[in-house]
């Protein structure tokens, strides 16, 4: 039996739910998305109304279900080498850092909202190409355990690689054959270089997260209101090393969000050395 259509008041409950947990402001235009993504969970539990499902989520008796709902409501699709100028900048920064890496700390990059993993694997490909055996780290985080699980597999539809340099596709990926045709698998040595972990940017960051030479926080602020943007950006850039770069989406800006970083180009900022 199909659940009843979601009402405005029920949708409002889920808007508050995802804002309280993740700081995400969900516009009224997302009502159909919420209804569609949660409908199977109502069916799974034999529930007829979204209000009944909301009560189940907030009862405290089903913490795994609450995480699953967060996963469903925060997942976004992406692709390899999205916004190519950012990866050109990454290459330049890594090349500049290379001479001092043998004796110093590794070159570290944080993909702070990595979704299904295409961004951190793109970062890792550039660093493997530029730095090779010199020390480097990629940390990738997301609030969604479901997309992190997918990301760790490194298995993607081939169309996600349309912007990947052909040489990287040959060097770092395996093309699927037979029943896996039309897909790619990021090779294991590269997968092992990316550390995936669950991080909620709307709360205090883990103490062991460390500091970074470059942080990608792209296409995330569009989901936050002004106060949440300021808090999240301040939290994230506290982990940026002096002289490091902070990268956001092309449709985003730090105007009235943060004035401690210097603009390098549209969507790229640098922390004073």
Q: Residue 156 pLDDT more than 80? A: yes
**Same structural domain, 103 and 180:** yes
Q: Quick: pLDDT tens for 163-176.
A: 999 999 999 999 99
The active-site residue out of 37, 82, 146, 193 is: 37
**Same structural domain, 62 and 88:** no
Find, among 69, 19, 28, the residue nearest to 47 by Cα. 69
Identify whether 1 is part of a domain.
no
Q: What pLDDT score does 223 carry? A: 82
The model's confidence at residue 2, banded by pLDDT at 50, 70 and 90, is: low
Please provide residue 168's backbone torsions phi and psi, each rounded to the nearest 5 degrees.
Answer: -70, -40
The active-site residue out of 71, 137, 142, 213 is: 142
Does 250 or 111 have the greater pLDDT score? 111
Does 223 or 126 have the greater pLDDT score? 126
Active site residue 91: no
Structure tokens at 65: 């279900």
Identify whether 236 is part of a domain.
yes
**Same structural domain, 89 and 53:** no
Identify whether 101 is part of a domain.
yes
**Percent of the chain whose pLDDT exceeds 70:** 97
Structural domain that includes position 135? 84-270
Active site residue 188: no
Please compute the mean of the pLDDT values over residues 144-167 and round it to a whole number. 94
3-state secondary structure of 117: coil
Q: Residue 21 pLDDT more than 80? A: yes
């Amino acid at each position: 039996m199909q659940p009843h259509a979601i009402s405005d008041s029920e949708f409002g409950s889920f808007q508050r739910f995802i804002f309280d947990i993740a700081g995400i402001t969900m516009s009224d235009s997302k009502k159909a998305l919420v209804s569609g993504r949660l409908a199977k969970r109502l069916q799974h539990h034999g529930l007829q109304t979204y209000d009944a499902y909301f009560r189940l989520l907030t009862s405290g008796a089903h913490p795994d279900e609450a995480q699953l709902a967060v996963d469903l409501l925060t997942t976004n699709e992406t692709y390899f080498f999205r916004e190519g100028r950012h990866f050109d900048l990454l290459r330049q920064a890594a090349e500049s850092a290379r001479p001092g890496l043998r004796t110093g700390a590794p070159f570290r990059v944080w993909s702070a909202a990595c979704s299904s993993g295409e961004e951190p694997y793109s970062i890792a490909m550039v660093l493997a190409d530029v730095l090779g055996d010199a020390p480097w780290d990629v940390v990738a985080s997301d609030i969604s355990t479901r997309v992190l699980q997918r990301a760790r597999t490194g298995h993607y539809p081939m169309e996600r690689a349309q912007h990947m340099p052909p040489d990287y596709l040959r060097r770092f990926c395996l093309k699927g054959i037979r029943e896996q045709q039309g897909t790619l698998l990021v090779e294991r040595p590269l997968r092992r270089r990316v550390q995936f972990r669950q991080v909620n940017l709307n709360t205090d960051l883990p103490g062991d997260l460390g500091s970074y030479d470059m942080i990608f926080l792209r296409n995330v602020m569009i989901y936050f209101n002004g106060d949440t943007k300021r808090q999240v950006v301040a939290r994230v850039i506290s982990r940026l090393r002096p002289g490091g770069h902070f990268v956001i989406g092309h449709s985003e800006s730090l105007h009235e969000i943060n004035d401690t970083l210097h603009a390098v180009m549209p969507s790229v900022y640098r922390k004073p050395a």
